[in-house]
Amino acid sequence: MKVKKTHIRLVGYTGLSAFSYALIVLIMSSVFGVRRYDLQIDDRIIPELNTKLAAHVKTLPLGIWVAPHLSAQVIQEQFPWIKSLSFYRMPTQTMRITVALEEPKIKVNDAIITEQSRVFPASTFNAASITNLPKLTIQFPTLTDSVEVPDAFISHAQTFTTERFAPYTITWIDEYTARLTDKEQPNFVIQFNANTIPDAAMFAHCGTIKQRLQERGSFEGRQKGTRWVADIRFERQVILFSEDKGVTRG
């Protein structure tokens, strides 16, 4: 009979423990459980993308066992324009999600470069939110898509927004070769690379070279079709050469 009583007591204790656990879970769920998500949307992103983000948030798990870091990882993988997310558990069984956006820095063709040096299509953002950004039109001969920007160019993009580049058409071939074509005199070109982007002093020097070419009639008469290139990629010297119908002449 003692064995049976012990068995009965054991069953009783087990049942009580299970009941207590269930009660604790119920209390925690009513106090800490998540029943809904409150998404704080950044209106700089186009409505279509924000709608997709909101729809995805509705699929996130509910209840006590919510893992915000896992949800954040999944969201950022699907919506790369999100820099980070913060989760705040509110007392109303609501989990508030606040989105930190990749901050637009400069518009290059149809692409946006952010402060984190990431590139996104300009169509990701509402037009009003990027209208005051510095804008560049750059020729990238190796690329066919206007929303692409070469990696080697990204860190230098802001440099080209200064006024001294305005008189030139910029062609970025690669990090080793780039050209500035004079808009006023298209047959005068400054050739440089990622390490020798011209500063104010170099522009002044190249301006002097251009003036001398004009004075000797190098842009007129029999030389009218000749392109003159001031190559500044060399240390302490500028090499001037001509290109006539694709043929380079020293």
pLDDT for 25: 42
Count up the domains in the chain and report the number.
3
pLDDT 10s digit of each residue in the chain, 250 long? 454 555 555 555 554 454 444 444 444 444 456 788 899 888 899 999 999 999 999 888 887 777 788 888 889 999 999 998 988 888 778 889 999 888 999 999 999 999 999 999 999 999 999 999 999 999 999 999 999 999 999 999 999 999 999 999 999 999 999 999 999 999 999 999 999 999 999 999 999 999 999 999 999 888 888 999 999 999 889 999 998 754 455 4
- Residues 117 and 213 reside in one and the same domain: yes
- The Cα–Cα gap between 39 and 75 comes to 12
- Residues 126 and 157 reside in one and the same domain: yes
Which CATH number do you get for residue 63? 3.10.20
pLDDT for 53: 93
In sequence order, what are the residues at sequence separation of 6 or more whose Cβ sits closer than 8 angstroms to the Cβ of residue 98?
A: 40, 85, 86, 88
- Residues 120 and 196 reside in one and the same domain: yes
- Residues 108 and 119 reside in one and the same domain: yes
- Residues 144 and 234 reside in one and the same domain: yes
- Residues 40 and 28 reside in one and the same domain: no
Residue-number span of the structural domain to which 90 is assigned: 33-101
- Residues 151 and 206 reside in one and the same domain: yes
- The Cα–Cα gap between 109 and 124 comes to 14
- Residues 159 and 59 reside in one and the same domain: no
| Residue type at 105 in one-letter notation | K
pLDDT for 27: 45
Q: Are strands 135-136 and 104-108 parallel, antiparallel or unpaired?
A: parallel
Q: Are strands 188-192 and 138-139 parallel, antiparallel or unpaired?
A: unpaired
- Residues 242 and 135 reside in one and the same domain: yes
- Residues 115 and 187 reside in one and the same domain: yes
pLDDT for 16: 46
- Residues 40 and 22 reside in one and the same domain: no
pLDDT for 250: 47
- Residues 109 and 155 reside in one and the same domain: yes
- Given 79, 101, 123, the domain boundary residue is 101
